[in-house]
Amino acid sequence: MKRLVAAAALALSAMVAAPALAILPSAPESDPAPAETSAPAQAIDDTQDAGADQRMADRIEGIFAELPAFQAVDVAVSQGVVTLSGTVPKQEDVARAEAIASRVTGVVTVENGLERDVSVSAQASGIASLADKWDGLIALLPLIGLALLVWAGISLIGYLIAGLGSLWHRIAPNSFLAELIASALRFVFVVGGLVVALDIVGASALLGAVLGGAGVIGLALGFALRDTIENYVASLMLSLRQPFRANDHVLIDNLEGRVIRLTSRATVMMTLDGNHLRVPNSQVFKAVITNFSRNPQRRFEFDLGVDADDDARAARQLGRETLGSLDFILSDPPPEARIVEVGDSNVVIRFLGWVDQNKTDWFKAQSRAIPAVKEALEDAGFGLPEPIYRLRFDPRSATLPFENIAEGGERKDTKVPKPVRQMTVTEADEDIRPVNEIAEMVDKERRETGSEQEKDLLDHSRPVE
C-alpha cells in the first residue's frame, strides 16, 4: 500500500512540473552552449570492496620490495588514497615512486611525502657502484693494453710509409707537397688506429663524440686562424706555380728587389739597397708580379724636348739614328722615337731602345744613351729650351729695378759665365757590362745560409709559370 501511494505522488509531481518547464524561455538557436573540450576525468567508484585498500598496499609494497632504491619507503592506503613516506637515495627516485604507485588499479591519488636521504650510509650503493666500476676497469686493462698495441702498430706503419721521402718526392711536383702528403698519411693512420682500438675496447661511440667536438673546435679555429690558413694555402700554390726563380729581379706590387728564397710562410727578398724583405705568401699570391729577369731583352726610354720652331721630325730621325749607332743598342727590335707632346715652348720626343741584359747593364745603357742623343741634337743645331714664362706687371705696382734691361728689351749680362769643366771619360765609365752587386750578395747568402734557413720551395728543375 505504501508503495502505491509513493508512486502516485511521484506521478503527480511530474505532471505539475511539466507546465512549468513549458513556459520557460528556450535558449536562442544562434547561441548554442559551448562544447566540452576537456576529456572527462576518470570516474571514482562510489563503493569499494572490502579489503581493497589492503590489497593495493600489499601490491605497492611488493613492487617496492623488488627495487633496492625503495627499501625504506612506507606505504599506507585509505579509501584508494596512497600515502608514501620515508627516504630514497636519489632525488629522481621520489617522482619514480609516485609514478609506480599511481599505476596500480584502484589508486585514486598519491600523497608523496618521500625525501632524499643525504646521509653517508645511504650513499653506500653509489660508493659500491664506483668500486664495481673500478673492478671492471682493472678487468678491462688487458683488453685496453691490446687496443693500445694495435693503435701503436697501425700508427707505426703509417709513419714508416710516410717516411718514404724519395717515393713522395717522385710522385709530388715539389718538396712542400711531398711533405704535405706524408703528414696526411700519418694523420690518417693515427686516426684509423684509434678507431680500431676503440672498437676493440667497445667504446667506438666515444670516437663519434670526440670527432664531433673536434669538428666544432676545428671550425672555430678555422675562423680564428683564417689568415694563417690562407697563407699556408698560398705557399702551396706558389710552390706549384713557381712564379720566379732565385735571384730574379721582381716587382711585387710596389716592392722591388731580388728573390732570395721561397719558404712555407713568406717570400724572402733583398731590396736594391741591400735590405732583407719578407713578404707573406698570401700577399705575393694575390699581387701583380713584374719579373725583370725572365726576358733578357729589356727596353728603356727617356724624353727630350726640342725647340718648337725646330723640325721635330728631323730631331726624331736624328735621335733614332744616334741610338742605332750605339753598339750596345739592339737592332732587333730597332730603336724608336715618338713625338708625344707639344708643350708651351718645346716639342717632347720620347726615345726608346732595347738592350740585352745578359751583355749590357740596363741602367748603364740608359745613362749612356741619354747624353749621346742630347749631344747629337745640340751639335745639329736643335735647341733644347727651358720652359719660358711670360710675366705681366700691373702699372699700378711699385717701380721695379729695370736698369739692367737694355733698350731693345734684352737683358744686360752683368755676370761672367763660368767655364764648363771638361771631364775625361774613362774606360770604366764606358763599360756597360752587367755588374749587379745585389745579385752577387744574394748568391753569397744562398750559399752560406741555405742549410740554416727554412727549406727553399723554389725548384729550378720545374718551368716558371
- How confident is the model over 236-283, as pLDDT tens digits? 888 888 889 889 999 998 999 999 999 888 999 999 888 999 999 999
Beta bridge partners of 270: 258, 276
Note whether 267 and 253 are within 8 A (CB).
no
Note whether 341 and 287 are within 8 A (CB).
no
pLDDT, position 350: 95
The phi, psi pair for 449, rounded to 5°, reads -115, 15
Note whether 87 and 117 are within 8 A (CB).
yes
Helix residue spans in 225-361 (DSSP H)? 226-241, 281-286, 312-325
DSSP conformation class of 250: E
- The more confidently predicted of residues 162 and 431 is 162
Calpha distance 86→73 (Å, rounded): 5
pLDDT at residue 318 greater than cutoff 90: yes
pLDDT at residue 338 greater than cutoff 60: yes
- Mean pLDDT is highest, among 28-37, 327-336, 385-394, 406-415, for 327-336
User: What are the residue boundaries of the structural domains of the chain, listed by start?
Assistant: 52-118, 126-224, 245-292+443-449, 297-394+421-430
pLDDT, position 13: 45
pLDDT at residue 50 greater than cutoff 90: no
Helix residue spans in 24-88 (DSSP H)? 52-65
pLDDT, position 144: 86
pLDDT tens figures, 123-159 = 555 566 677 778 777 888 888 888 899 999 999 998 8
Handedness of CA 304, 308, 313, 317 (dihedral sign): negative
Q: Which of the residue ranges 174-178, 271-275, 379-383, 422-426 would you say has the lowest mean pLDDT?
A: 422-426
Fold of 52-118: Histidine-containing Protein; Chain: A; (3.30.1340)
pLDDT tens figures, 195-222 = 888 888 877 667 777 677 777 787 787 7
Residue 114 CB: number of other CB atoms within 10 A? 21
Q: Which of the residue ranges 63-72, 124-133, 339-348 would you say has the lowest mean pLDDT?
A: 124-133
Calpha distance 282→269 (Å, rounded): 15
Its CATH architecture, for the domain 245-292+443-449, is Roll (2.30)
Calpha distance 304→324 (Å, rounded): 17
Rounded to the nearest integer, the mean pLDDT of the chain is 78
Residue 279 CB: number of other CB atoms within 10 A? 17
String of b and e for 118-154 (b: at least 16 CB within 10 Å)? Answer: eeeeeeeeeeeeeeeeeeeeeeeeeeeeebeebbeeb
C-alpha distances in Å from residue 268, one per residue of 82, 112, 255, 446: 85, 79, 12, 11
pTM: 0.56
- The more confidently predicted of residues 109 and 38 is 109
pLDDT, position 283: 92
pLDDT, position 22: 37
Q: Rounded mean pLDDT of 59-71?
A: 88
Tell me the helix, strand and coil percentages in the chain, rounded to 5. 45, 15, 35
Calpha distance 451→189 (Å, rounded): 31
Q: Which of the residue ranges 20-34, 122-136, 325-339 would you say has the lowest mean pLDDT?
A: 20-34
Handedness of CA 248, 253, 256, 257 (dihedral sign): negative
The residue with cell 567508484 is: 45
Which residues are within 8 A (CB) of 174 and not within 5 positions of it... i.e. 6 or more apart? Answer: 239, 240, 457, 459, 462
pLDDT at residue 393 greater than cutoff 80: no
C-alpha closest to that of 281 among 230, 231, 225:
231
pLDDT at residue 412 greater than cutoff 70: no
Which residues are within 8 A (CB) of 403 and not within 5 positions of it... i.e. 6 or more apart? Answer: none
CATH of domain 297-394+421-430: 3.30.70.100
pLDDT, position 270: 92
Calpha distance 196→100 (Å, rounded): 43
pLDDT at residue 410 greater than cutoff 60: no
pLDDT band at 308, cuts 50/70/90?
confident
pLDDT, position 232: 84
Which residues are within 8 A (CB) of 176 and not within 5 positions of it... i.e. 6 or more apart? Answer: 235, 236, 239, 264, 455, 457
C-alpha closest to that of 282 among 223, 222, 224, 232:
232
Q: Rounded mean pLDDT of 118-126?
A: 61
Calpha distance 177→376 (Å, rounded): 58
pLDDT, position 29: 44
Helix residue spans in 242-289 (DSSP H)? 281-286
pLDDT at residue 62 greater than cutoff 50: yes
Report the half-sphere exposure of 235 (CA within 13 A, side-chain side). 25
pLDDT tens figures, 417-465 = 555 455 555 545 567 777 778 888 888 888 877 555 567 888 776 667 6
Q: What does 366-387 look like in DSSP terms, one character per residue? A: HHHHHHHHHHHHHHTT---PPP
Calpha distance 224→345 (Å, rounded): 62
Q: Rounded mean pLDDT of 7-12?
A: 46
Q: What percent of the chain has pLDDT over 90?
A: 26
Q: Rounded mean pLDDT of 2-14?
A: 45
All three cell numbers of 61, joined, read: 609494497
pLDDT, position 329: 93
